[in-house]
Amino acid sequence: MAATRVFDVIVVGTGAGGGTAMKILCEAGLSVCAINSGPRTEPARDYKLHRQVYDLKYRGYGNPMRLEGKAHQEPYSVEESEYSENSDIFEHDVAYSNAPGTDWYWKRCKGTGGKANFWGRSSARFGDIDFKAAGLDGFGENWPVEYAEIAPWSTKAERYMGVASTVQNRPSNPDGEYLTPMPWRCIEYIIQKGAEKIGVPYLPDRCAQLTVAHDGHPACHYCGNCSRGCDVGSFFSPTWFTIPQAEATKNLTLLTNALVRSVLVDEDGKARGVAYIDRTTKREVELYSKVVVLAASCVETAHIMLNSKSRHWPTGIANSSGQLGRNLSEHLYGCPGYGYLPQLRGQPARPDNIADSTVAWMPRWQNLKNPHEEKFIRGYSVYMGGGCGEFPGHYSQLEGFGSEFKRNIKRYYPTPVGALIQAPTLPSSENYVDIDPRKKDIFGIPQLRFHFQWGTNELLMWEHSKQVMIDLFKAMDAELWGMDDEPNRPGTSLHETGVCRFGNDPKKYVTNKWAQTHDVPNLYICDASIFPSSTDKTTTMPIVAFTMRTCDHLLENFKKGTHSRV
């Protein structure tokens, strides 16, 4: 690459949003430089998924000393274990800060494809119940879009990714276009019967997992290791979908191990390119383009923008509203109940975990008839899992030792079930990210600092879900073994939203309804940071859908001459 080369578009990040953006822009004929923070993700090297746990030296736990000396020593999640050892796709060099009282767990995959290499694949559409929630319950603000406008983009994203589910006619969940749903396991039938008795829906999840071959991608082979990354691309991930397609156009330059520090501006304060640190040489490099798309994953996008200070933008680029970094939202995660189904005791082991997924879920059922039915506003959804898994963790519930204990471990093997709540936090002025005034990371970049607390509304949902589980287990004639005392730490879900909210009023929002920053017309955002609020649904499929829409607008602006090509 010539040092002076200028690109039509620089895309920062190659995950769900960035990968989709670069594919669309490359296919439209633009010259695109995609910048990725870490190395290229190589499935054959980085995913050891078909290995059994006994093939690993530390039985999957990994060497506890493996992150010694690193700036950030906490593992990414279950995805980072001995299965990913010797792989360098998770971020441990760049530290972040938590304000006093905040305990944010920031999990970063710096390899190409990012977090979307390992995601949970649940792909429900956002609907007007989400976009117009503020209008319904009076809290916060509506999104600048309506479902009718977004529906075609959701369809496009679903067709591209391949989502298995059924048409369900739920008021909370617009239906889409689906592949054959995943067959139900024994536990699903039992849970559904119980849920029916207490008035809770239990239906096939919207699962971006290829139950049939789709658009050149093979059908799932059900090895059950999706969360370690798919080795053949049988669920949507940038590594198997968008990145190879963008590369096939020959319009893509992909830079790896390039940590973007800031967006560069010209004399008018417009984006001129980016400055990045080459992780190998530790040198700062400047790269120029006509348009910059930030898709660095929600809070990192805000981090880059807050660090992009100039004469024009003294508090960070495109921050005339002062809203950059504000309204950090998240999903509260936690287990409100786990126990066992006595109906299945002693049954032969069944391949319950080969889809590595919740096959079905409880889509939001609260506050549907009336937005104030419950003590909390809006609503949450619940994923259920269970059956025969990789390790008989239920042993801890069984007393004793010897042959009887061993027999009981097997006898109860098909029976355990557990729940996971996915509850949206309400946007709050107390929850935000800013730049740590004192600390810099090892590359000299001022660190991102989190300020975040659970709010009353989401904690009321958490309490509500525990009671639902007590009722559900009773309705299933099942026994509840326990529940988490506290929800998981903030950040666990990986579903952070907010911090660059989109909206029509430039005084209140960072970007317009097309995810183009109000202040800097050639700076776009293609990740979940634009979503003004969290919903009960996950973010990946909507990120892809909104990115498709934003890129359409961006291309339109090239056609109209708002942006000129190189």
Partner 1 sequence: MGGQGIERREILRYIGIASIAGTFPGFNKWEFACPGGHAQDAATLAARGSSPYKLIFFSIEQFRMIEHLAEMIIPRDETPGATDAGVAEFIDFMLANRVPVNAKREIRSTEDAIANGNEAQGRFLAGLNWMNAHSKAEFGKEFMDCAVDQQKSLLEELAYKSKFKPATESGRQFFQLMRDYTVVGYYTTRIGLESLGYPGLRSVWPSMPGCPHLNDPEHLHLQEPKASFDIVSDWRA
Give me the least distance between CB of 106 and partner 1, in Å please: 12
Give me the least distance between CB of 386 and partner 1, in Å please: 13
Residue closer to partner 1 (CB basis): 315 or 488 = 488
Q: Which of 359, 447, 377, 431 is nearest to 180 (CA)?
A: 359
Place of tokens 């995660």: 333
- Containing 203, the helix (H) or strand (E) segment is strand 203-204
Give me the least distance between CB of 256 and partner 1, in Å please: 23
Give me the least distance between CB of 407 and partner 1, in Å please: 6
Residue closer to partner 1 (CB basis): 6 or 71 = 71
Distance of CA 398 to the CA centre of its chain: 36
Going from the C-alpha of 248 to that of each of 51, 68, 196, the distances in angstroms are 31, 39, 49
Give me the least distance between CB of 203 and partner 1, in Å please: 15
- Containing 186, the helix (H) or strand (E) segment is helix 186-197
Distance CA(398)–CA(431), nearest Å, equals: 42
Contact 467, 313 (CB under 8 A): no
Q: Which of 525, 16, 522, 31 is nearest to 290 (CA)?
A: 522
Helix axes 456-475, 186-197, angle to 10 degrees: 110
Give me the least distance between CB of 23 and partner 1, in Å please: 22
Residue closer to partner 1 (CB basis): 370 or 396 = 396
Give me the least distance between CB of 465 and partner 1, in Å please: 23
265 strand-pairing partners: 271
* Cα dihedral 195, 200, 201, 202 sign: negative
Residue closer to partner 1 (CB basis): 30 or 220 = 220
Give me the least distance between CB of 278 and partner 1, in Å please: 27
Residue closer to partner 1 (CB basis): 15 or 487 = 487
Residue closer to partner 1 (CB basis): 442 or 566 = 442
Residue closer to partner 1 (CB basis): 281 or 396 = 396
SS3 state of residue 99:
coil
Residue closer to partner 1 (CB basis): 143 or 340 = 340
Residue closer to partner 1 (CB basis): 221 or 282 = 221
Going from the C-alpha of 263 to that of each of 89, 271, 295, 449, 543, the distances in angstroms are 24, 7, 13, 19, 22
545, with CB counted inside 10 A (0-12, 13-18, 19+), is: buried
Going from the C-alpha of 317 to that of each of 94, 309, 322, the distances in angstroms are 22, 6, 10
Give me the least distance between CB of 232 and partner 1, in Å please: 6
First CA to last CA distance, the chain: 16
